[in-house]
Amino acid sequence: MRPGRGGRVGLHVTLLVGVAISLFPFYWTAVMATNTTQDIFRVPPKLVPGPELFENIGRLLSSIDFFGSMLNTVIVATSVTALVLFFDSIAAFAFAKFEFPGRNTLFALLMLAFMLPSQLALIPQFVIMVELGWVGTLNALIVPAAANAFGIFWMRQYIAGAVPDDLLAAARIDGCGFFRQYASIVLPVIRPGLAFLGITTFISTWNDYTWPLIVLVDPNNLTLQVALSQLKTAHDTDYSMIMAGTLLAVLPLALVFTLFARGFVRDAMAGALRG
Amino acid sequence: MATAPPKARTAAPAAPAPRKEGALRRFWPQYVAITPFFLLFAVFLLGPILFSLYLSFQKWDGLGDMEFVGLRNYAYLVEDGKFWLALRNTVLIWIFSTVPTLFLALVVANLLHSAVRFSSFYRIAYFVPSVTSIVAIAIFFGSVFSTQAGLANAILGALGAAPVPWLVDEWTIKFVIATVICWQWVGYNALIYLAGLQAIPAELYEAARIDGAGPVQTFFRITIPQLRPIILFTVVISTITGMQTFTEPQVIFSSNVANAANSGGPGNAGLTAVLYFYNQAFTNSDYGYGAAIAWAVFLVILVFTVINWRLVSRRDRAGAR
């Protein structure tokens, strides 16, 4: 049933109200970040962006090592993404296309990793990091995240569908071993899948909070999310400065997301449904 | 399959290599390929989880010697009023957030399904909240609901109403946390439902129309039953994530006051179970008790998930009749 003309207008108006609610926090963050705290707290408050952004950023930079935290976050998110893409896709290739003994048992074990709640492991993980001397370092964030069950599960489905068996068989006849098949046949074919897994991993690593909060104990060596939350705790009343930090912390990710958004949203839903 | 089991070719019974060894020689690259994951899994997940079970029977601050205390951590847990308060808060926040989230998501999904134009714009706009940092969102809503001069009270003031102490009152605290969760996840769930809606065969709707079914009947007789597996999926995911709510109250109510650094706000009204776990384990360095709380929370999640699963799939069978 197609709605009539009036119905269509009403439909789009309703949907646009939803869009406005979804996007309002970004607008309002920008308003707060570009005005003084007094402007925000005035009654009635200022509703449009003001000229104070650089002033607020200046106070932000003298309160915390913002760019240091951002650099840490970039290092962690980039390393984790690169490692996950490699380790997950090559493991997924093994699971998708080869019937090695123990495959099903191992895959069931991998599914178990999905279901185990992470906070059960947090205390011993912290103890391990103490033993390794990694508390307060980025190693503690990168190494445990270098491969994950979700990525292998998702890539396995993707490779099973995207990589033709006869191509692999032909390569095998030509004497290509497992790694050569991965490099010359699988990798070129699964680029769209890698793009999706890469963006998901990058975004979730960028936004990760609980584990960094626990393990990054050195206030001079934090990721953005932890720095932001500590900024909020320490300067509870300087809203315009906190919002300037929030704005700067959210912007890079918003950029990455809008660049890749179209295909990404479709793939994300397909992935969610399959999972 | 190109990888027939070796026994198919064992023509010479004289020297049948042990099956495992042959497999290892033949499939070593595959085993190498999956090793990194299983190594990390063993060291950073499975091992720690087993160790945390062991820890839950110990008294340990992470520095001195462990002391075996049997079931005392669990006995203390059962008597610990704060733990039960945290559990109650978690369940209430979960209900206040999940019910409106999934309901609104269903509404939005149906609207999106009818909207042909601008569909990719809508999708992106509705998806954005779910990829935004929870810390940033929590800080944002914390300021909007700030009692002294947040936007919410400014609007109320403009309408002539008295300001509401959003982050002080027991119920409005839960309302604020639920609002944060709701804002973040409506669009995401709506897009999942939308994918489900698009998979419903058009013939079903056609047949319903011929039988003279109205839009409401069609919605309850066709749309909902067809979506049920997906609804089940979203309910389960929301249960698991909702019972682990941590970041929102931790960020909104974190403070410099040493003895209330992670208290979950006035009267502990925003203290969730995982936040309480974090407090005991990492603020008080009480690893043994922390581990016991983590296991208790895990059991609660398990029970809730099973209950929800059975509720939704039983209605499934009833709906199939």
pLDDT value at residue B22: 81
Give the whole-angstrom CA distance, residue A229 versus residue A223. Answer: 10
Closest by Cβ to A123, choosing from B191, B205, B290: B290
Is B191 within 8 Å of A269 when comparing Cβ atoms?
A: yes
Contact yes or no for A265 and B133 at CB 8 A: no
Task: Using the predicted structure, report yes or no on whether residue A46 has a pLDDT greater than 60.
Answer: yes
Residue A41 to residue B149, Cβ atoms within 8 A: yes
Q: What is the mean pLDDT of chain B?
A: 87
Report the pLDDT value the prediction gives residue B229, as an integer from 0 to 100.
87
Asked if pLDDT for residue A249 goes beyond 60, the answer is: yes
pLDDT tens, B157-203? Answer: 888 888 899 999 999 999 999 999 999 999 999 999 999 999 899 89
DSSP, collapsed to helix, strand or coil, labels residue B67 as strand
How far off is chain A from B39, nearest CA to CA, in Å? 10
pLDDT, average across residues A203-213: 95
Q: What is the mean pLDDT of residues B297-306?
A: 92
Interface residue of B104, B140, B252 to substitute, partner A, most A CBs within 10 Å: B140
Please list, in sequence order, all residues whose beta carbon lies within 8 angstroms of the beta carbon of residue B242, skipping any fewer than 6 positions away. Answer: B90, B93, B94, B97, B98, B181
pLDDT for A66: 94
3-state DSSP call for residue B59? strand
Residues on chain B touching A261 (C-beta within 8 angstroms):
124, 127
Residue A271 confidence (pLDDT)? 66
Does residue B258 have a pLDDT over 60? no
A228:B136 CB<8 A: yes
For an interface test with B, which of A255, A265, A267, A273 has the most B Cβ atoms less than 10 Å from its Cβ?
Answer: A265
Q: What is the pLDDT of residue B20?
A: 59
Structure confidence at residue B14 (pLDDT): 41
Question: pLDDT digits over A133-183, tens only?
Answer: 999 999 999 999 999 999 999 999 999 999 999 999 999 999 999 999 999
The interaxial angle of helices A53-63 and A224-234, nearest 10 deg, is: 100
Place of tokens 């897009």: B191
Query: Minimum mean pLDDT among A42-51, B62-71, B73-82, B100-109: which range?
Result: A42-51
Q: What domains are there in chain B, each with its CATH number?
A: 73-320 (1.10.3720.10)
Q: Taking 50 as the threshold, does the pLDDT of residue B321 lie above it?
A: no
pTM of the model: 0.89
Residue B38 main-chain phi, psi, to 5 deg: -70, -30
Token couple for B288: 């043994």
The reported pLDDT for the residue numbered A146 is: 97
The stretch A212-225 carries a mean pLDDT of: 94
What pLDDT shows up at residue A258? 77
Poorest-confidence range of A91-95, B90-94, B148-152, B284-288?
B148-152
Separation CA B280–CA B293 (nearest Å) = 9
Using CA coordinates, name the residue in chain A closest to B45. Answer: A121
CA distance B14 to chain A (A): 23
Asked if residue B214 has pLDDT above 50, the reply is yes
- Cβ distance A98 to B3 less than 8 Å, yes or no, reads yes
- Residue B24, pLDDT score: 84
Strands B58-59 and B67-68: antiparallel
- Give the separation between CA B256 and CA B89, rounded to whole angstroms: 23
Cβ contact B43–A128 (<8 Å): yes
Q: Which of A152, A234, A246 sits opposite B139 (nearest CB)?
A: A246
Looking at the predicted structure, is the pLDDT value of residue B5 above 50?
Answer: no
Q: Which fold is adopted by the domain A75-222?
A: MetI-like fold (1.10.3720)
Report percent pLDDT > 70 for chain A. Answer: 96
Mean pLDDT of B122-132: 92
For CA atoms A214, A219, A223, A227, give the dihedral sign: positive
Confidence bin at A32 (pLDDT 50/70/90): very high
From A125-129, B14-18, B26-30, B217-221, the region with the lowest mean pLDDT:
B14-18
With cut-offs at 50, 70 and 90, classify the pLDDT of residue B66. very high
Question: What is the rounded distance in angstroms from the CA atom of residue B73 to the CA atom of residue B70?
Answer: 8
Q: Is the ipTM of this complex over 0.95?
A: no
Residue A41 pLDDT grade (very low, low, confident, very high; cuts 50, 70, 90): confident
Q: How many CB pairs under 8 A join A and B?
A: 263
Do B73 and B292 meet the contact criterion of CB atoms below 8 Å apart?
yes
Residue of B nearest to A47 (CA): B151
Mean pLDDT of all residues in chain A? 90
Mean pLDDT of A46-71: 92
Q: Which of A48-62, B143-157, B237-251 has the lowest mean pLDDT?
A: B143-157
Q: Express each pLDDT in B13-25 by its tens digit.
A: 444 444 556 888 8
